[in-house]
A and B are shown apart, each in its own frame.
Chain A
Amino acid sequence: MTTSRARRHPLVRIATATVAVVVGVPALIAVGWVLLVLLIVPPVEVVTVAAIAFSALVVVGVTWLVIRSNRTAALTRRDKLTLGLMAGIPTVILTVFVLVPMVVSFTLSLTSWNGIGGLDRIQFIGLKNYTDLHSVYKPFYPGLIHNLTWLLFFIFIATPLGMFFAVLLDKGIRGTRIYQSALYMPVVLSLAIVGFIWQLIYAPEQGLLNNLLGTNEQGNLIDWLGNPDLNLWAILVAASWRHVGYVMVLYLAGLKSVDPTLKEAAAIDGANERQTFFRVVFPVLKPINIVVIVITVIESLRAFDLAYVTNKGLNGLELLSTMVTNNIIGETSRIGFGSAIAVVLLLLAVVPIIIYLSRSLREDAA
């Protein structure tokens, strides 16, 4: 199937894509609207029954796909049914709790609603939430820039550091296991706990850092987490504490799979260690590089816990994720507006997701 698509004329492909977008986006919004109405108008009992009926429909649909496929023709009817159910039940859970909310998010982002009242309180306002994000909502661009800073800090500092540690530990020197354990220990901690642990370091008067620097007296205090010019960098250090270990573990696994004769050959050719790494080993690591970059981008977009436990993501720590949360929970819930921020987050996440998927597709084809 993929090969026939590759052979199509580029103009045909562009035309197909345009038609898909022109038809697909309104259809998606309409589907989201129907789901939203179903979710809001009827009483709880009816919604529950409708959800169960919807789930059953999805299971039947997947089962039908399996049964009608000519590639399962060799199986007995009973086996086809088993296979359909085995694929159908996980698909339902994913559909109801992840895919349906994603579609409804799209539709909600075009509306104005404070979360109270029925359908009559939901107004369809087109792209106004998005234009408001641009021109009215002050934290939006700072938040976007904070997410971007997070990403750049991870890509240029934390990720290379993790790779550097992996290269050092890959030499197989004595005590590698102990070094590796120490460096990767933070990976098992939750980011919320990481936030608490680093508060003990950053606290103005009681914190370790100010005590070491001698800046813990009134008058010369450095408020690492309170100062909006400093706090993002402070929590980025805390986040990197965990990210470095994660990247290191991934690269260590990747480096072990590199054929040692490659390095030996480079050494015989007179390459020094640096040349060997950058010219021979690094290019071979391409698959792992892609995975690490995707993980780094996704982690930067998912950044939430650290900012939220520090100050609920305000005052210098605004992120897209905390803005979504603050707009939907709390006294002034602005559901439509929060959803618009969520859609921006989704659009940013789609890029690395597509890179990742096209890579797995290519590997499957190979």
Chain B
Amino acid sequence: MTATTGAPKAGRNTGRDARRSALHAFLIAMCLLWLMPLFWAVYTSLRPRAETDRLGYLSFPETLNLDNYVTAWNQSEMARYFLNTLVIVVPAVLLVLFLASMMAFTVSRYSWRFNLWFLLLFTAANLLPPQVIITPLYRIFLKVWLPEDVLVPGFPSDTGLLYGQYLGIVLIHVAFQLGFCTFVLSNYMKTIPRELNEAAVVDGASVWKTYRSVVMPLTRPALAALATLQVTWVYNDFFWALVLMAGKGSKMPITSALNNLRGQFFTDYNLLGAGAVLVAIPTLVVFFALQKQFISGLTLGSTKG
């Protein structure tokens, strides 16, 4: 909703124009400063190591190529880690939106004993630092029996436990993001007129039918915004897989795996840049393609409705 039409032509005066120009200059400078770190990573990653060793990093390029990207991709089996991320992100986001929408539906569209307390409990849980629960969680993951990783049938379970497997990481993401999604969705569902529920009841619709065919279709904008946000957040998570898959690196998602890969990239900053940019690309695609959804997801959590 940003106005791009500019100031009205009438009533312009030079003092105001000068102020506008100063504002533009300031904002342009700030934006360049803000883009600099990413630009620098891309620039460094496009230059061969030999050249930067000879000319120094702060120099004009002689050659720019994608060699570092090819090396980073091949040397660290990145394809596998990206695939791991895909196996974790898709079910996690679908499941958390499904469960949170049901919870939000029951607390915001119906009134029952303690329903507001449940909403508060979910909201509180979403604000906890993950480290508060990690120790017992780690023990739970070591004590739940899981002979096969159900998310990828036939994929052998190397531990026989919830620990180190896709399903475990999916479940903790679902549990930890449930609070935020429930909070946002229940705020959104509150804005849908209650009369629609009553109309559905008069038509003889069951609770499930009301959820499926009346409330959910109207919640679609919030679901789209949340899905965008959740894909980014789950993709970006570093901590859960670091602890709950430690030592079982083969199923690690890309963001957590990058920390292990750093050993291979160590001191080769051109390669490190390429690796960082490669991992950032999916979220940057989300940023360019779904910026509006992402922003509305963030702001839905902070403003009512």
Contacts and interface: CB of A to CB of B under 8 A. Distances in A.
Contacts of A45: 145
Nearest to B105: A86
B52 A206 contact: yes
A254 interface: yes
Nearest to A86: B102
B31 A250 contact: no
Interface string B112-145: 1111101011111101111111111111100111
B111 interface: yes
Contact of B129 (A100, A165, A345): A345
A173 to B, nearest CB: 7
Interface residues of A, number: 121
Contacts of A328: 134-135, 138, 243
B112 A342 contact: no
B131 A325 contact: yes
Contacts of B113: 65-66, 68-69, 71
Given A44-B145, A200-B40, A97 B137 contact: yes
B58 A212 contact: yes
Interface stretch (A133-141, A221-229, A263-271, A296-304): A296-304
Contacts of B276: 193, 196-197, 200
Interface string B44-87: 10000000100011100000000000000000000000000000
Contacts of B20: 173
Contacts of A208: 40, 57-58
Contacts of B152: none
B236 A189 contact: yes
B132 A105 contact: yes
B272 A188 contact: no
Given A71-B113, A211-B58, A172 B144 contact: no
B138 A86 contact: no
A91 B103 contact: yes
Contacts of A305: 238-239
A294 interface: yes
A274 interface: no
B238 to A, nearest CB: 4
The interface residues of chain A, by DSSP majority, are classed as helix
The interface residues of chain B, by DSSP majority, are classed as helix
Interface string A172-184: 1111111111111
A201 interface: yes
A250 B298 contact: yes
A235 to B, nearest CB: 13
Contact of A78 (B134, B174, B206, B262): B206
Nearest to A51: B144
Contacts of B272: 196, 199-200
A21 interface: no
Interface size class of chain B, counting residues whose CB lies under 8 Å from the partner chain: 35 or more
A127 B156 CA distance: 44
A200 B269 contact: yes
Contacts of B44: 200
Contacts of A249: 295, 298-299
B238 A192 contact: yes
A280 interface: no
B172 A97 contact: yes
B143 A102 contact: no
A68 B112 CA distance: 9
A62 B117 CA distance: 12
Interface of B: 1-4, 6-7, 20, 23-24, 26-28, 30-31, 34-35, 37-38, 40-41, 44, 52, 56-58, 99-100, 102-103, 105-107, 110-116, 118, 120-125, 127-140, 143-145, 160-161, 171-172, 174-176, 178-179, 182, 206-208, 211, 232, 235-239, 242-243, 246, 255-256, 258-259, 262, 269, 272-273, 275-276, 279-280, 283-284, 286-287, 291, 294-295, 298-299, 301-304
Given A94-B175, A94-B179, A185-B287, 18 more contacts: A40-B139, A90-B100, A91-B103, A94-B121, A98-B125, A104-B135, A105-B136, A168-B23, A169-B2, A176-B3, A183-B34, A185-B284, A190-B255, A199-B269, A206-B57, A320-B131, A342-B135, A356-B127
Interface of A: 36, 39-40, 44-45, 47-48, 51, 62, 65-66, 68-69, 71-72, 75-76, 78-79, 82-83, 86-87, 89-91, 93-94, 96-102, 104-105, 108, 165, 168-169, 171-193, 196-201, 203, 206-208, 211-212, 238, 241, 245-246, 249-250, 253-254, 256-257, 287-288, 291-292, 294-295, 298, 301-302, 304-305, 308-309, 320-321, 324-325, 328-329, 335, 338-339, 342-343, 345-346, 349, 352-353, 356-357, 360-361, 363-364
